[in-house]
Structures are given as C-alpha cells and as structure tokens.
C-alpha cells in the first residue's frame, strides 16, 4: 500500500466502524477496487486501524470511561467481550480465510440489509434507557450477538446494537453500549493481530509502522465525526435507511463479482 491508499482505507474505516454497514466489509471492497495485494500485512492493517476509530469513543465519552467510581461499567464491558475473545482465539484461521472472500461480504451485506428493514418494528418496546440499567446478563448476551460480526460484512455495530435492542435497550442506549463494547473488543483484536504479525515476521518495518500510524490517526479523526452524526441520525430515522443502503451495495457487489470486475 502507498500513502494515498492507506489514507483512503482509513477514511473508510472511520466512516463505517460505528454505523451498521460493516467497516471490515467496506475495507475489503475498497482494497479490491484499489487493487491492494491481499497479504498478511493488509489483513493485519484492516484490524489494527480500528484501534484509532475506537479511541474516538474513549475521547467522546471520556467521563464514562474515566468514572472509576462506576466500577460495574468496566465489569460489564469485560463480561460483554468474553464471547468474542473465546471465539476469536478458537476460529482465528477460519476468520482470516473469510476476509479473502468478497462473496461473503456481498451476501452478508444483502441479508443484513433485509434484516435491518424490520428491526425497528421487531424491537419497539424498550425498557432500558442507559448503561446503568443494563445488567451483566444483558451485556453477555449482547457480546454473543457481537460475535456474528466475525463474518465479514455482518457489521459489529449492527450485531451488537440489534443484540442490545433484543435485550430491551432503546436504540440510542444500544448504540452507545455498542460503542463502549467496541473498546475492549478491538483492543483485544488489535493486540492479538499486532503480536501475531510481530511473531510471524520478526518485527515491523519502518514503512509498516508509518502506515499503521497514518491509518490510526486518520481513522480516529473521521470516527469522531461519524459517531456524532450516527447517534442523531439513528434517533431520528432508525435502521431502515441503512438496510436499504446495505441491500444496494450488496447487489452492486454481487454484480461486480458476476461480471468479473472484482474477484470473488
């Protein structure tokens, strides 16, 4: 990857990490369109720059993350991230293999889009309005839902927000808990990927460090803007618009695969 490609992918990550359209899926599509080689560093990079995006959550919600008196908040996040850590370690090779499949992304976007068309009506009787009302059981079940995002194209935010709504959280409360849960989840995923790359290659080159630095900074800045936009949009319009978007992108992607424009 050159610097321009790094910046483009990082912008895509920042824009899509916290909206229910799959950041990983969009980065895979972007890499295909930019003809970026599908190597080990690229796979690691698409995970590692998510760290920059999730740090935007810590900055925007710093009062929540540094309220040490509310110790249960941290315990809920740990509870919620346990399923992803266990399944991630057990199926890391299969997950990496799925990252090579554009068809998986396309189908996941399409099916996920259809589901989002009906989510607002399916879970329209919420009774939990904030993180403080969320129980440890709620957090664990939302964490299980989040694991669906190990399939490229599903969307971590979509899976965890839907999981939150299924657990009777309001749309905005579910979205915020999804943001919070992203922090330990992506810290664990990024740490694992960086360690694995270091172990397999013996270290990072100067160019790789430069790309990771640029990627995380760009993703952080763009994600700051995207989070503020998404919460307001979600409260006003719900999920239907994102469902339509996913269906359109999924169909376009399937057409591009069918015509041979991009590889399957």
Per-residue pLDDT of 229-255, as tens digits, reads 887 888 788 889 999 999 999 999 999
For the record, the structure tokens of 37 come out as 């080689």
Mean pLDDT score of the chain, rounded to an integer?
90
In-domain check, residue 173: yes
In 3D, which of 66, 64, 83, 63 has the Cα closest to residue 139? 83
In-domain check, residue 142: yes
What does the pLDDT look like over 74-132, one tens digit per residue?
A: 999 999 999 999 998 888 788 877 777 889 999 999 999 999 999 988 888 899 998 99
What does the pLDDT look like over 136-184, one tens digit per residue?
A: 999 999 999 999 988 888 999 999 999 999 999 998 899 999 999 999 9
In-domain check, residue 66: yes
* pTM: predicted TM-score of the whole model, two decimal places: 0.86
pLDDT recorded at residue 206: 92
In-domain check, residue 226: yes
In-domain check, residue 176: yes
What are the phi and psi torsion angles at 34 (to 5°)? -90, 0
For the record, the structure tokens of 30 come out as 């972007």
In-domain check, residue 263: no
For the record, the structure tokens of 153 come out as 């194209």
In-domain check, residue 83: yes
In-domain check, residue 94: yes
Number of domains making up the chain: 1
Q: Can you give the residue range of the structural domain that contains 211?
A: 3-258
What does the pLDDT look like over 139-152, one tens digit per residue?
A: 999 999 999 988 88
């Amino acid at each position: 990857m050159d610097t321009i490609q790094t910046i483009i992918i990082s912008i895509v990550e920042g824009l899509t990490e916290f909206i229910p359209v799959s950041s990983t899926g969009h980065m895979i599509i972007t890499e295909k369109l930019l003809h970026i080689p599908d190597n080990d560093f690229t796979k690691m990079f698409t995970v590692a720059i998510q760290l920059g995006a999730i740090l935007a959550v810590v900055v925007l919600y710093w009062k929540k993350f540094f309220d040490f008196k509310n110790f249960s908040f941290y315990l809920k996040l740990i509870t919620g991230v346990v399923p992803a850590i266990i399944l991630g370690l057990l199926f890391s090779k299969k997950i990496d293999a799925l990252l090579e499949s554009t068809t998986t992304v396309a189908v996941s976007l399409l099916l996920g889009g259809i589901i989002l068309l009906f989510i607002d009506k399916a879970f329209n009787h919420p009774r939990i309005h904030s993180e403080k009302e969320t129980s440890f059981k709620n957090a664990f079940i939302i964490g299980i839902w989040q694991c669906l995002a190990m399939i490229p194209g599903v969307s971590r935010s979509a899976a965890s927000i839907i999981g939150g709504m299924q657990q009777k959280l309001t749309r905005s409360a579910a979205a915020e808990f999804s943001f919070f849960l992203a922090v330990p989840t992506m810290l664990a995923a990024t740490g694992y990927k960086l360690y694995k790359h270091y172990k397999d290659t013996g270290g990072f080159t100067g160019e790789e460090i430069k790309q990771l630095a640029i990627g995380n900074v760009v993703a952080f800045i763009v994600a700051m803007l995207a989070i503020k936009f998404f919460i307001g949009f979600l409260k006003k319009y719900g999920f239907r618009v994102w469902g339509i978007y996913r269906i359109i992108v999924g169909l376009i992607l399937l057409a591009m695969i069918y015509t041979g424009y991009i590889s399957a």
